[in-house]
Amino acid sequence: MKEIYKKSNILTDAITHYCPGCGHGIIHNLVCEVVEELGIMEKTIAIAPVGCAVLAYDYWKFDTTEAAHGRPLAVATGIKRARPELIVFTYQGDGDLAAIGTAETVHAANRGENVTVIFVNNGVYGMTGGQMAPTTLLSQKTATCINGRNAKRDGYPLKVSEMLAVLDGVCYIERTSVHNPGAVIKTKKAIKKAFQNQIEKKGFSMVEVISQCPTYWGLSPVEAVEKIEKDIIKKVPLGVIKDV
Amino acid sequence: MSDKDKKVLITGNEVIAEAAIRAGCRFYAGYPITPQNELTAYMSRHMPEAGGVFIQAESELAAISMVFGAACVGERALTSSSSPGISLKQEGISYLAGCRLPAVIVNMSRGGPGLGNIAPGQADYFQSTRGGGHGDYRTIVLAPNCGQEFFDLTRLAFDLADEYRMPVLILGDGVLGQMAEPVKLKPGIKYEPAHQKKEWALTGNKTGKPKIIRSLYLGQGVLEKHNLELKKLYDKIEQEDVRSESFYVDDSEVVLVAFGISSRICKKVMQEARKEGVKVGMIRPITLWPYPYEIISRAAAKKVKFLVVEMNMGQMIEDVKLAVGGKAEVHFYGRTGGEMPQEKDIMEKIKQVIK
Amino acid sequence: MIKVKIDSEKCKGCNLCLMYCPKGLIKESKILNKRGICPVEFDSSKGACIGCRFCALMCPESAIEIIDE
């Protein structure tokens, strides 16, 4: 008997609290697979955010700490500076990384902290009931913009990756997605590169993963991934944004 | 004079930094704010010399979270600020308390509320002694009143933080922070990476069983259980770690109660008063939490009158009243808005109290 | 023969595996799992699995294992 595919050993067997079709589970597995393949599990520290992934430590076996909402990159800075030999990554949503944690994100990136950031962007606040996020697209409906995001009232979607890419401390940023098998494979490649950069002490690396939130997009999981293909990635194009 | 007894002239801010390094602290993150800037500047020069980490953070929110990170991996970590900055740090202090992480936080407090001013203040007493941030927790609060005590209590702060796995606050003020005094710098401890002794510190999962640092406890009864564990710890600290200093309490008509810089002024008043034959004593809480209720309560039983002197509109007086329990008179003299109590005004108040 | 093993207790019925199976070998089960969800099941009656892993890659629950017997 030959094994063709099996989930990463770093994932626990817990059933997640994520909604059906949510991209978090796919991304958790990819991070675990990458760490396993790089053989760095024994020195990896994860930082869980506040948001849907707040319980990530129940789903993976990394030594993990929580962080206050928006502060994972400050916590990561503390860990990495104190123990540069450790591999440190943050796993953050759009509210955490791009709203309440904007300052921590920008300054950690600008200092060129040698850490890896997994930025899961689904354009809504999932954990609190689907409110508008900094990355919510124009005309996208959420619990706090029921008629769709209106630039005049709500401002524009924040282009976090593009913003960070102009900073000298940043070494690598790529935007990927997990809405079809090819995209999942590309995301894994990007995550691997972001960890390899850290191993090679290259500096701040971030993968922005466009992820589906069927529940708060008001769509079935199948419709949600179709929306990414037909709509979202036309507005928020995938690809390498910076690689030095 | 032998080298052993040699003293150096050094500001309160700087002596805390030096004491921290000598106590094995190898991580400092801070953000500029007056009147504690000398501490950050000292760390920026001397922490790298000691092989430690210095970071000027983008905000107090970030600085306390950096300290949180360093504490996660077992490092002895310090941050410092002054009143408005400490308000921001309360977020991280609550998380440190919830996650059972040791860290030391210095508040060289100034006048408030709001931006207030940069003159010395003691108006952060409530904030310091009642947890300060959200949730059901305590922090140990040490209130030194001179340069030497800053040195000694800084080392103690790190020891207590590690022993109880909780944040410890050192509460000073703008005068104590910026005034230079002669201090005997005791030799440092031999630096051993603290994390090697902290079995809970994150190291990377080497055993198959992950270590998790968290303050999130969902599910019925789970958080209550966690908080009751904290309560047990706090009860122990209230039993074992109350520190205070008393003068002439058994031979006084009026007992002054003051901490920090106010206690220096009160001590002078007490000495002058006794020269004039006025029986004045003093109780100086050194730990503001746990508070020396017992000592004050015992003095109250002797029917003395209390005069609480603070640089605020009356905060510690509530703890004195709790300790006295209605058994004695409790009076107050305070200055607010960054002003200092004057000796003659305190003396005047003592005379009124005696009448 | 390549077989797709689906943990029906973990499956939340999102159907992303079903959507991307190029051979149409995954279908909705008619039996509810313990959590009251209709999971998917592997159905080799329509052809042979080619082991492309698309189903497993798309599974948010990591509930799919693929083996070659």
Could you tell me which residues come within 8 angstroms of residue B253 by beta carbon, excluding any fewer than 6 positions away? Answer: B278, B279, B280, B304, B305, B354
pLDDT tens, residue by residue, A113-125 = 999 999 999 999 9
Could you tell me which residues come within 8 angstroms of residue B46 by beta carbon, excluding any fewer than 6 positions away? Answer: B17, B18, B21
Cβ neighbourhood burial of B256 (10 Å; 0-12, 13-18, 19+): buried
CATH architecture of the domain with range C2-68: 2-Layer Sandwich (3.30)
What gap in Å lies between CA A198 and CA A113, rounded to an integer? 9
pLDDT tens, residue by residue, A36-88 = 999 999 999 999 999 999 999 999 999 999 999 999 999 999 999 999 999 99
CB-CB neighbors (< 8 A) of A60 in chain C: none
Q: Do C20 and A22 touch (CB under 8 A)?
A: no
Delineate the domains of chain B, giving CATH numbers in brackets.
Answer: 3-197 (3.40.50.970), 244-354 (3.40.50.920)
What average pLDDT does chain A have?
Answer: 98
With residue A191 as reference, give the H or E element that holds it.
helix A181-199
What gap in Å lies between CA C18 and CA C40, rounded to an integer? 8
Q: Do C68 and A25 touch (CB under 8 A)?
A: no
Enumerate helices (H) and strands (E) in chain C, giving the number of each. Answer: 2, 4
Assess A146–C contact: CB distance below 8 Å, yes or no: no
Q: Using CB atoms, which residue from A61, A71, A75 is nearest to B210?
A: A61
The domain made up of A24-243 has a fold known as Rossmann fold (3.40.50)
Q: Do C58 and A26 touch (CB under 8 A)?
A: yes
Instruction: State the nearest Cα–Cα gap between A225 and chain B, in angstroms.
Output: 31
With residue B181 as reference, give the H or E element that holds it.
strand B180-183
The ipTM of this complex is 0.97
What gap in Å lies between CA B273 and CA B261, rounded to an integer? 19
Which pLDDT score is estimated for A1? 85
Percentage of chain A lying above the pLDDT 70 cut: 100
All structural domains of chain C with their residue ranges: 2-68
What gap in Å lies between CA A45 and CA A88, rounded to an integer? 5
Could you tell me which residues come within 8 angstroms of residue B73 by beta carbon, excluding any fewer than 6 positions away? Answer: A45, A79, A82, A83, A86, B195, B201, B202, B203
| pLDDT tens sequence for chain B (355 residues) | 566 779 999 999 999 999 999 999 999 999 999 999 999 999 999 999 999 999 999 999 999 999 999 999 999 999 999 999 999 999 999 999 999 999 999 999 999 999 999 999 999 999 999 999 999 999 999 999 999 999 999 999 999 999 999 999 999 999 999 999 999 999 888 777 666 689 999 999 999 999 999 999 999 999 999 999 999 999 999 999 999 999 999 999 999 999 999 999 999 999 999 999 999 999 999 999 999 999 999 999 998 999 999 999 999 999 999 999 999 999 999 999 999 999 999 999 999 999 8
- Check pLDDT > 90 for residue A207: yes
Assess C3–A contact: CB distance below 8 Å, yes or no: no
3-state secondary structure of C38: coil
Assess C12–A contact: CB distance below 8 Å, yes or no: yes
What gap in Å lies between CA A53 and CA A17, rounded to an integer? 9
What gap in Å lies between CA A48 and CA A29, rounded to an integer? 15
Which pLDDT score is estimated for B1? 52
Q: Quick one: CA torsion of B321, B327, B333, B334, rounded to 10 degrees?
A: 0
For residues A55 and A28, the answer to whether their CB atoms sit within 8 Å is: no
All structural domains of chain A with their residue ranges: 24-243
Q: Using CB atoms, which residue from B57, B68, B202 is nearest to A45?
A: B202
Which pLDDT score is estimated for B197? 83
Fill in the DSSP letter of residue B213: E
User: How many residues can be counted in chain A?
Assistant: 244
Cβ within 8 Å of C, A 207-226: 214, 220-222, 225
At A239, the amino acid letter reads G
What gap in Å lies between CA B158 and CA B220, rounded to an integer? 35
Residue A242: beta bridge partners? A173
For residues A172 and A114, the answer to whether their CB atoms sit within 8 Å is: no
Closest to A174 in 3D by CA, of A122, A238, A234 = A238
pLDDT tens, residue by residue, C5-51 = 999 999 999 999 999 999 999 999 999 999 999 999 999 999 999 99
Instruction: State the nearest Cα–Cα gap between B270 and chain A, in angstroms.
Output: 47
CB-CB neighbors (< 8 A) of A107 in chain B: 57-58, 62
The beta strand positions in chain A, using DSSP E, are: 2-5, 44-48, 63-66, 87-93, 116-121, 124-125, 131-132, 170-177, 204-210, 239-243
Which pLDDT score is estimated for B188? 85
For C8, which residue in chain A has the nearest alpha carbon?
A: A15
What gap in Å lies between CA A186 and CA A188, rounded to an integer? 5
Q: Using CB atoms, which residue from A45, A61, A103 is nearest to B59?
A: A103
Which pLDDT score is estimated for B206? 95
A211-227 b/e (C-beta count within 10 Å ≥ 16 → b):
bbbbbbbebebbebbbb
Q: pLDDT grade, residue C69 (50/70/90)?
A: confident
3-state secondary structure of B340: coil
Tokens encoding A104? 């921590």
The beta strand positions in A67-137, using DSSP E, are: 87-93, 116-121, 124-125, 131-132
Which stretches of chain B are DSSP H helices? Answer: 12-22, 37-49, 60-72, 83-99, 125-129, 147-164, 174-178, 222-240, 260-275, 293-301, 317-324, 343-354
Q: Do C16 and A221 touch (CB under 8 A)?
A: yes
What gap in Å lies between CA B324 and CA B297, rounded to an integer? 5
What's the rounded mean pLDDT across residues A152-163? 98
